[in-house]
Amino acid sequence: MKDSNNFGFKYSIEGNKQTEIEAMTNQDFEVKSLGECTVTSPLYTAYKNTPMAEGLFVDNDDRILYDPTLEGFKKCLKEGTDPITFEKAGPREKIFFSPSNTKAAIVTCGGLCPGINNVIRSVVNGLYYRYNIKNIVGIPYGYEGLIPEFGHEWVDLTPEKVKDIHMFGGSILGSSRGRQNIERMVDTLERNNIKMLFTIGGDGTLSGNHVIQEEIERRGLKIATAGIPKTIDNDVNFIHKTFGFETAFTTAAPIIRDAHNEATGAYNGVAIVKVMGRDSGFIAANAALAMPDVNFVLVPESEFDLYGPNGFLESLKDRLVKGHHAVVVVAEGAGQNLFEDDQNVEKDASGNIKHQDIGLLLKDSISKFFKDQNFEATVKYIDPSYIIRSEPAIAADSIFCSSLAMNAVHGVMAGKTDFVVGRWNMHFTFLPIPTATSSRKKIDLSGELWWSVLENTGQPYSMKNEEK
């Protein structure tokens, strides 16, 4: 059976359509570095007389296989090619920055996601305790905080300041959307003698990080930038899991349970639960697998029709006739094809398309469809998406956030730049930002995850009329 994700290719992205344009090569996975590492890491000094010295440290040529299957290995042997590999994250014996006089900054941008505060806390503690970097500032309200005219006062971050922040959702630094002037942001970094910038955010934040890095390079500065990818949707390619995602579907699961109770409480009761997932339906799919009372999972990857013999509404009616209740989990980006084409497309301050409310459309269409047929049904619509994204991280995500943050610190200390920390085949990795943002991870509709969804829900493979 195929992997459940479509890894391995660059795509051009246009709206929700991705077109494969070329195969990736190992060059796409080479992480940039500011220069030679000549400083002995304080971590090495601390552990050099212990067995840790053997096991803990990672060389730059330690790599993680992209494709761990025997077939992949045989294909490389047959073709005489090197397998695609990612740089292994972790502490290096020699580092680039010496702790004295080194100042670090942390910024969080884009929407909220469970675990941001855990990441901030662990970056601060990692820098402070492991690498003796005591000068750490928090940049408030996203990239706005790097533009002096906004007047957002920077926050000194110490272990004392961050000791309790993992208890809370949101970001203690706040966030913002909207483009800021790149030259002026780099002026701010330069003027304040910032040597390392940690950006916590989604694709937009990481793209911002990359252009900041380009400007840093153009000026010949030695400032390292690291991204910790924040996407509750788990839609970053070449990364198996992003932080906040597990919390999201774990929080959604009991809401779906309650929605099921609502649905069963009425004759032909229908409960619709909307979850996040702008372009990828991983939260919807996983929440439905975690709470398998769901009858329909609607995701952006699988277009569907409302009406017609094979459309969603007829399938829903079938389900009600057989079971007298139904639970529908819908990702926010699903069914966008159902809205009128001539509408004005709304965008947020960062230029992201604001999706139409598919949950409301479903509620209204279902109610009208059954009313017109004198078919008794009760429809309830539940939208917990903003509650979910401001939840504190669950235990598994807390651990994950700490490791991501610690590895970002290791990478930056070793002079790596323009990179994100990822997770692949049980290893933490470093990936170049342009590669991580070149395409979005989506549910493979011919893969195991989607198959499990179909098996658990009983919904048809396609609810589009012409495809059956």
Q: Is residue 202 involved in binding Mg ion (CB under 5 A)?
A: yes
Restricted to residues 162-181, the positions that interact with ligand ATP (CB under 6 A) are 176-179
Return the range that interacts with Mg ion (CB under 5 A); candidates 41-49, 56-64, 151-159, 196-204: 196-204
Q: Is 233 a catalytic residue?
A: yes
Task: Report long-range pairs for 64-67 (Cβ below 8 Å, ≥24 apart).
Answer: 64/88, 64/424, 64/425, 64/427, 64/429, 65/425, 66/7, 66/8, 66/238, 66/424, 67/8
> What's the CA gap between 413 and 144, in Å, rounded?
26
Within 205-224, which residues bind ligand ATP (CB under 6 A)? 205, 207-208, 211
Which of 145, 202, 384, 415 is close enough to bind ligand ATP by CB under 6 A?
A: 202
Q: Does 203 bind Mg ion (CB under 5 A)?
A: yes
Q: State which of residues 91, 110, 227, 244 lies at the interface with ligand ATP (CB under 6 A).
A: 110
Nearest CA to 56 among 42, 41, 44?
44
Residues whose CB is less than 8 angstroms from the CB of residue 258 and which lie 6 or more positions away in sequence, other chains included: 382
Handedness of CA 204, 210, 212, 215 (dihedral sign): negative
Helix (H) or strand (E) holding 168: none
Q: Does 35 appear as a known binding residue? A: no
Q: How far is the CB of 80 from ligand ATP (least distance, A)?
A: 38
* One-letter amino acid for residue 30 of the chain: E
Set 59, 67, 187, 233: catalytic member: 233
Sorted by sequence, the CB contacts under 8 Å of residue 399 that are 6+ apart come out as none
In whole angstroms, the minimum distance from the beta carbon of 13 to Mg ion comes to 11
Q: Which candidate, 215, 424, 252, places its Cα nearest to that of 327?
A: 252
Site size for ligand ATP (CB under 6 A): 20
- For residue 285, how many other CB atoms are within 10 A of its CB? 28
Q: Residue from 126, 170, 204, 359 that binds ligand ATP (CB under 6 A)? A: 204
Q: Least CB distance from residue 206 to Mg ion, whole Å?
A: 9
Binding flag, residue 231, ligand ATP (CB under 6 A): yes
- Binding to ligand ATP, residues 137-156 (CB under 6 A): 142-143
Nearby residues of 43 by Cβ (< 8 Å), 6 or more positions away: 56, 57, 91, 130, 131
Does 277 carry a binding-site annotation?
Answer: yes
What is the rounded distance in angstroms from the CA atom of residue 133 to the CA atom of residue 410?
12
Q: How far is the CB of 127 from ligand ATP (least distance, A)?
A: 22
Minimum separation from the CB atom of position 113 to Mg ion (A): 11
Q: Residues forming the annotated binding site for substrate? A: 231-233, 276-278, 332, 386-389
Positions in the binding site for ligand ATP (CB under 6 A): 109-111, 142-143, 176-179, 201-205, 207-208, 211, 231, 350, 352
Where along the sequence are the contacts to Mg ion (CB under 5 A)?
202-204
Which residues are the active-site residues?
A: 233
Known binding residues for ATP are 111, 177-178, 202-205
